[in-house]
Amino acid sequence: MLNRRSFVMGAALAALPLRGALANVPTPYDWGASPPTASRQAFVDWMVKNRGEDANFLGQRYDRYLKLVAGKDLWDADTTRAYLMTPREEFVTHDNLARAYEGHFLTIGFGVTITGPHSVCRMTDTLAIKRDDRVLEIGTGSGYQSAVLSNLTPNVFSIEIIPPLAQRTRAIYDSLIARGYSEYGAITTKNADGYYGWPEHGPFDKIIVTCGIDHVPPPLLQQMKPDGIMVIPVGPPGAQHVLKVLKKPNGDGSFTAARSDIYYGQIQNFVPFTGGHQGVSAL
């Protein structure tokens, strides 16, 4: 008979993404190297040669890239490179492998999801990440978002609250690093409640929250540098506005948190921000 713990772990293992069939990355990671975008074939050929990835998934990645640009979810050259360099097929569960490049979120077990590529790209682009930025993610989930971030800066910190999911995603990163995806060595992970941030690694230039909450957590705002940017889905369960929060110093030691809606009023639906913060005063 299965006890609850072994059942949960069994479910986690059954949902693990397929791996092993793909080749190791043949070329060392190079921050200066970018795949060509002028044509689907040129992109696929470059990626097969330099990254050893599957041509079928690469073609789907390119097709989604065109839709991301058309939907105004992807505009910056560095974020474009980060999206194109990240194998989303490695982060979905094997039952969803054929759907890896669909536009919306997919379930990954534990009642949570891998965020859709349109939201990932719009939120990442809004952060305007520079190479030496320190970036904190709340909600590691599948690991896909931080994998994208690791192509923008080598200083990525990510917190996941569900212990077996945090463990599973850490194992995915470690196995990808062993296959030659050395960029994922830049991702430091931990299993904790992200509401309280990660002060030991702060302050952060950028923070991305990938779960929905009814207020901006004060500890996250405190751990942001002056002129830092946070993106965060704020609102009631199932109906958030994804806000860009800019921490502007007032010059007297205080600061203003200037907010704007990156979807111009359109409601988005994110997995809930869980943990024990209920009743904490809102900012």
Ligand X SMILES: C[S@@+](CC[C@H](N)C(=O)[O-])C[C@H]1O[C@@H](n2cnc3c(N)ncnc32)[C@H](O)[C@@H]1O
Q: Which of 117, 194, 197, 228 binds ligand X (CB under 6 A)?
A: 194
Minimum separation from the CB atom of position 42 to ligand X (A):
28
Which is closer to ligand X, CB of 44 or CB of 114? 114
Under the binding rule (CB under 6 A), the answer on residue 193 touching ligand X is: yes
Each residue 145-184 as x (binds ligand X by CB under 6 A) or -, in order, gives x-------------xxxx--x-------------------
Under the binding rule (CB under 6 A), the answer on residue 73 touching ligand X is: no
226 φ/ψ angles, rounded to the nearest 5 degrees: -55, 140
Which is closer to ligand X, CB of 60 or CB of 145? 145
Categorise residue 118: left if φ over 0, alpha if ψ from -120 to 50, beta otherwise.
alpha
Under the binding rule (CB under 6 A), the answer on residue 102 touching ligand X is: no
> How far, CA to CA in Å, does 251 sit from each of 67, 227, 254, 256, 263?
42, 12, 7, 10, 30
Under the binding rule (CB under 6 A), the answer on residue 270 touching ligand X is: yes
- Which of 134, 139, 138, 156 is CA-nearest to residue 147? 156
Evaluate whether 98 touches 163 at the Cβ level (below 8 Å): no
> How far, CA to CA in Å, does 83 sit from each of 152, 186, 205?
10, 16, 20
Please state whether beta strands 156-160 and 224-234 pair in parallel, antiparallel, or not at all (unpaired). unpaired
Under the binding rule (CB under 6 A), the answer on residue 274 touching ligand X is: yes
Question: Near ligand X by CB under 6 A, which window of 16-24, 46-54, 140-148, 149-157?
Answer: 140-148
Give the footprint of ligand X on this chain (CB under 6 A): 112-115, 138-139, 141-142, 144-145, 159-162, 165, 193-195, 210-211, 270-271, 273-275
